[in-house]
């Protein structure tokens, strides 16, 4: 079913791309847009994950550079029966995370430094289990393709604005067509994002809670992330709002009319669903241990500085403390 939806999405975005080209340049513009869309579809299928990771300056980590964070993902992936994804860190103070990749064998998960510093062990596990649920449900291909193509549609609308439209074309639209392309195309792309994102978040929350075994930990993480997202801006996301639907919580805080990109269900509703779920399977084994987590801070020399012990009165808050 996800493959059918992805094919329908590509067809719709291609048609939308062609419509924008027609409004800007008539039949010639439509043919050019068709060629561009075909190339974008092919390129995006194979490279959209790398494009999104590069967009956010994500850095790949391993068991040596981020042992606890990497270990959480490794153990959760094994518990879910998934291949080990590539693991990335985004240098951003806003706590958030997303998953990407065209299939489970070519997937990646990324968490911000803000998330790894502000959430505890169980909460980080809940968030990463949610992202692995997206991988397992094969949501990541559609979500990543949508981010790439929606961004391309916005780009071609801006391109039409700078060109001023082809006033000599025979389609009768002229400047009005260009303005329509600029306004309607991003809105249409936004509607696609909303359609593919809202229902899938509930499903990923439920499956993620099953994987980590602690629905309330995921609920607590959602509460913390949502509160911080309104207070701490994510400048990469503000510059690339078409990728907002990929994150576990909408990273946009309204600096640029970003309330239009409301790609997620209400966090309160998601938390309520997880709380209800917690009462359904209280005997589910939890993920990880209940003992405090020792979190070492990586240094430039490769050594780790303990955040607990003599002279350290502040307990660690998470796997990246």
| 81-90 pLDDT per residue, tens | 999 999 999 9
Question: Quick one: pLDDT band at residue 265, thresholds 50, 70, 90?
Answer: confident
Cα 204 from Cα 214, distance rounded (Å): 14
Kindly state the average pLDDT of the residues 144-164. Answer: 62
> Which residue bears the tokens 């405090």?
292
Query: In this predicted model, which residue has the larger pLDDT, 175 or 57?
Result: 57
pLDDT, tens digit, for every residue of 199-256? 789 999 999 999 999 999 999 999 999 999 888 988 888 887 778 888 999 898 755 4
Beta strand residue intervals within 97-250, DSSP E:
97-101, 107-112
Q: Which residue, 55, 147, 58, is CA-closest to 111?
A: 58
Element (H or E) spanning 90, and its range? strand 86-90
Query: In this predicted model, which residue has the larger pLDDT, 167 or 137?
Result: 137
Question: Quick one: pLDDT band at residue 313, thresholds 50, 70, 90?
Answer: very low
Q: Does pLDDT of 71 surpass 50?
A: yes
Q: Give the pLDDT of residue 11.
A: 77
User: Measured between alpha carbons, how far apart are the two ends of the chain, in Å?
Assistant: 41
Which residues are part of the catalytic machinery?
131
Does 320 map to a domain? Answer: no
| Tokens describing residue 209 | 């809670």
Does 312 map to a domain? Answer: no
Cα 130 from Cα 203, distance rounded (Å): 9
Question: Quick one: pLDDT band at residue 18, thresholds 50, 70, 90?
Answer: confident
Does 292 map to a domain? Answer: no
Kindly state the average pLDDT of the residues 84-104. Answer: 94
Does 316 map to a domain? Answer: no
Give me the chain's average pLDDT, please: 76
Does 283 map to a domain? Answer: no
Count Cα neighbours of 285 within 13 Å in the Cβ-side half-sphere.
5
Give one word for 41, left, alpha or beta, with left for phi > 0 and alpha for psi -120 to 50: alpha
Does 299 map to a domain? Answer: no
Kindly state the average pLDDT of the residues 117-138. Answer: 95
pLDDT, tens digit, for every residue of 31-57? 887 787 777 767 767 777 888 899 999
Cα 22 from Cα 29, distance rounded (Å): 5
Which structural domain range is residue 10 located in? 2-278
Does 52 map to a domain? Answer: yes
Does 139 map to a domain? Answer: yes
Per the structure, the count of domains in the chain is 1
Kindly state the average pLDDT of the residues 96-104. Answer: 92
Find the range with the poorest average confidence among 28-32, 133-137, 139-143, 170-174: 170-174
Query: In this predicted model, which residue has the larger pLDDT, 277 or 168?
Result: 277
Kindly state the average pLDDT of the residues 167-191. Answer: 57
How would you list the strands of the sheet with 107-112, edge to edge? 59-61, 86-90, 107-112, 97-101
Burial class (CB in 10 A: 0-12, 13-18, 19+), 103: exposed
């Amino acid at each position: 079913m996800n493959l059918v939806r992805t094919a329908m999405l590509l067809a719709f975005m291609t048609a939308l791309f062609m419509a924008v080209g027609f409004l800007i340049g008539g039949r010639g513009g439509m043919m050019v847009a068709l060629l561009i869309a075909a190339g974008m579809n092919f390129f995006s299928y194979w490279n959209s994950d790398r494009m999104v990771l590069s967009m956010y300056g994500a850095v790949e980590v391993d068991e040596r550079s981020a042992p606890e964070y990497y270990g959480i993902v490794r153990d959760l992936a094994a518990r879910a029966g998934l291949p080990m994804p590539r693991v990335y860190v985004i240098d951003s103070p806003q706590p958030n995370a997303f998953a990407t990749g065209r299939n489970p064998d070519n997937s990646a998960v990324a968490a911000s430094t803000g998330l790894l510093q502000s959430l505890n062990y169980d909460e980080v596990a809940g968030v990463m289990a949610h992202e692995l649920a997206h991988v397992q449900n094969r949501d990541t291909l559609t979500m990543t393709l949508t981010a790439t193509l929606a961004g391309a549609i916005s780009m071609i609308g801006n391109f039409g604005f700078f060109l001023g439209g082809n006033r000599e074309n025979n389609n009768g639209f002229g400047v009005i067509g260009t303005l329509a392309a600029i306004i309607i195309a991003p809105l249409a792309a936004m509607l696609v994002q909303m359609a593919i994102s809202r229902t899938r978040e509930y499903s990923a929350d439920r499956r993620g809670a099953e994987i980590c075994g602690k629905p309330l930990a995921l609920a607590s993480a959602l509460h913390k992330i949502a509160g911080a997202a309104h207070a701490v801006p994510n400048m990469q996301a503000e510059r690339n709002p078409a990728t907002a639907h990929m994150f576990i919580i909408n990273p946009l805080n309204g600096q640029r009319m970003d309330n239009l990109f409301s790609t997620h269900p209400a966090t309160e509703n998601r938390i309520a669903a997880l709380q209800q779920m917690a009462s359904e399977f209280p005997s589910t084994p939890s993920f990880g241990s209940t003992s405090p987590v020792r979190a070492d801070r990586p240094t430039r020399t490769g050594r780790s500085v303990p955040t607990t012990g003599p002279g350290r009165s502040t307990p660690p808050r998470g796997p990246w403390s």
